[in-house]
Amino acid sequence: MRKNLKKLASLFLAMSMVLALAACGAKKEEAPASSGEASSTSDFTPITLKMGNQHSTETVANKLDQEMCDRIAEETEGRVTVELYSDSALGDYTNIFDELMLGTVDIAHISPVESYDARVSATMLPYLAFDYDKLLEIYSEGTFLRSELDDALSQLGIHLGGVFCEGFNGIGVMQELENANVPGAEKGCIIRSPMMDVYSLEMIDMGFRVSSMPYSDTYTAMQTGVVAGLAGGTSQVNYLSFRDIITDFYDYRYIQEATMIMISQKTWDKLLPEDQETITNIINDICAKGAEQAESACDEYMDKLEAEGIRVHTFTDEELNAFAESCRANVWPQLAKNYPDGWLDQVKESVA
């Protein structure tokens, strides 16, 4: 009997220890994980962040990225230092995007990657806007589109710093267009289009016949008469790469080349609130400068095209607005399948 009691007592003790350990484990899981964050500037350990971009060293975007890094170090009083790796030194933009999600790259200035959530590519919707002031308004915090971008990226573990304007695309051709200012009217030629619906569908709506092909094949296709011109290039691209073959450049402003300045959420959460605010303000300034310099560069290279004897055609706000209205009525419904049901209608209402 005493032997049995001893066995029962031992069993009871063992069960008690198991329950106690389980309870401790449960409490450990329920407690919020320690982030290791400092509560003030005095006990914050300075941090060095790694930033990658897809821009070559001499571009406006890269120069502004370096200015941003310099300002962050200065205005956080050295608490946050950013080392910039330009010209895709950290890998292709899709790889950098994945590393942002993992936290192995801290900051990036790259093209949006729509593989995980199509909403992030909406910054490049055709005729989202055709002037920079309107674009900056649409991209600013608190708007419908910006809130959706924030939501899409945050679910991927990425904090959106800002949307950067690279410049509006025009069309360079080897002949003067027919009905150039009339949406939907036949333009009299076939042009190269990037292999993306946002481009090809818009070109068709404008009145072009299109041949979708890689950018690298475009020059030869123009030389051999397969196409008479190209979509998917700013005035700068047309000047630097096609000025010896095109006769006309049309500033249609149908798509803005949008890139994004993004920060890994893991990195963002390590920063002091006052440094987060400082960095947010710096990025907003840099994006505003980017739009200003993109407009200046567009004008500068159109002047250079004219100096080469190439005819440059611009359009009134009324004419551009007619193209925008046609695009939103005819092209956006075709693109709607790529987004949540009714989502593009909400974007349309918000930018009207």
* Chain segment 74-121, per-residue pLDDT in tens: 999 999 999 999 999 999 999 999 999 999 999 999 998 888 999 998
Which of 134, 52, 175, 117 is closest to 320 using CA atoms? 134
Pick the more confident residue, 25 or 336: 336
> What CATH class has 45-165+257-296?
alpha beta
Output the CATH code of domain 170-256+310-351.
3.40.190.10
Averaged pLDDT for residues 7-30: 44
Place of tokens 């050295």: 78
Helix (H), strand (E) at residue 158: strand 158-168
pLDDT of residue 142: 94
**35 or 135: whose pLDDT is higher?**
135
The mean-pLDDT minimum among 37-41, 75-79, 168-172, 268-272 falls in: 37-41
Average pLDDT over residues 314-327: 97
Question: Taking a C-beta distance cutoff of 8 angstroms, is the pair 289, 65 a contact?
Answer: no
Say if residue 131's pLDDT is above 70: yes
Is it the case that residue 282 has pLDDT exceeding 80?
yes
Q: Is a pLDDT exceeding 90 seen at residue 242?
A: yes
Q: What is the pLDDT of residue 352?
A: 82
Q: Hey, what's the torsion of the CAs at 272, 290, 64, 267, to 10 degrees?
A: 30
Nearest to 171 by CA among 206, 142, 136, 139: 206
Structure token pair of residue 218:
């475009």
DSSP state letter for 157: T
Distance, first Cα to last Cα, the chain: 88
Among 6-20, 40-54, 57-71, 153-167, which stretch is predicted with the lowest mean pLDDT? 6-20
pTM (predicted TM-score): 0.82
Domain segments of the chain: what residues?
45-165+257-296, 170-256+310-351
Cα separation, 138 vs 129, whole angstroms: 9
Average pLDDT over residues 163-179: 96
Distance of CA 136 to CAs 112, 290, 291, 296, Å? 17, 10, 8, 16
How is residue 268 written in tokens?
Answer: 């963002």
Using DSSP bridges, classify how beta strands 248-250 and 170-173 pair: parallel, antiparallel or unpaired. antiparallel
- Same CATH topology for 45-165+257-296 and 170-256+310-351: the answer is yes
Q: Please, which pLDDT band fits residue 278 given cuts at 50, 70 and 90?
A: very high
| Residue 155 vs residues 152, 249, 331: alpha-carbon distances, Å | 6, 41, 28
Q: What is the mean pLDDT of residues 213-227?
A: 94
Q: Where are the alpha helices (DSSP H) in the chain?
A: 2-30, 60-75, 93-102, 132-139, 144-154, 197-206, 218-223, 235-242, 265-268, 273-307, 317-330, 332-335, 343-351
Q: Which of 294, 326, 58 is nearest to 169 (CA)?
A: 294
- Tokens matching residue 69: 């890094």
Q: How is 263-317 classified by DSSP, letter by letter?
A: EEHHHHTTS-HHHHHHHHHHHHHHHHHHHHHHHHHHHHHHHHHHHTT-EEE---H
pLDDT of 112: 87
Could you give the CA distance from residue 261 to residue 110 in angstroms, rounded to a whole number? 7
Residue tagged 């962050």 (tokens): 72
pLDDT, one tens digit per residue, over 20-39 is 444 444 443 333 333 445 56
Residues 167 and 263: their CA atoms lie apart, in Å, by 23
* Contacts of the segment 40-45: beta carbons below 8 A, 24+ positions apart: 40/272, 41/77, 41/79, 41/272, 41/274, 44/79, 44/272
Give percent above pLDDT 70 in the chain.
89
CA atoms of 184 and 163, how far apart (whole Å): 30
- Which residue did the predictor score with more confidence, 56 or 289? 289
Residue 269 scores a pLDDT above 60: yes
Is residue 164 a contact partner of residue 63, using CB atoms and an 8 Å limit?
no
pLDDT given for residue 37 in this prediction: 54
Task: Give the per-residue pLDDT at 135.
Answer: 93
> Considering only 6-15, 88-97, 116-125, 173-182, which range has the smallest mean pLDDT?
6-15
CA-based torsion, 313, 317, 322, 328: positive or negative: positive
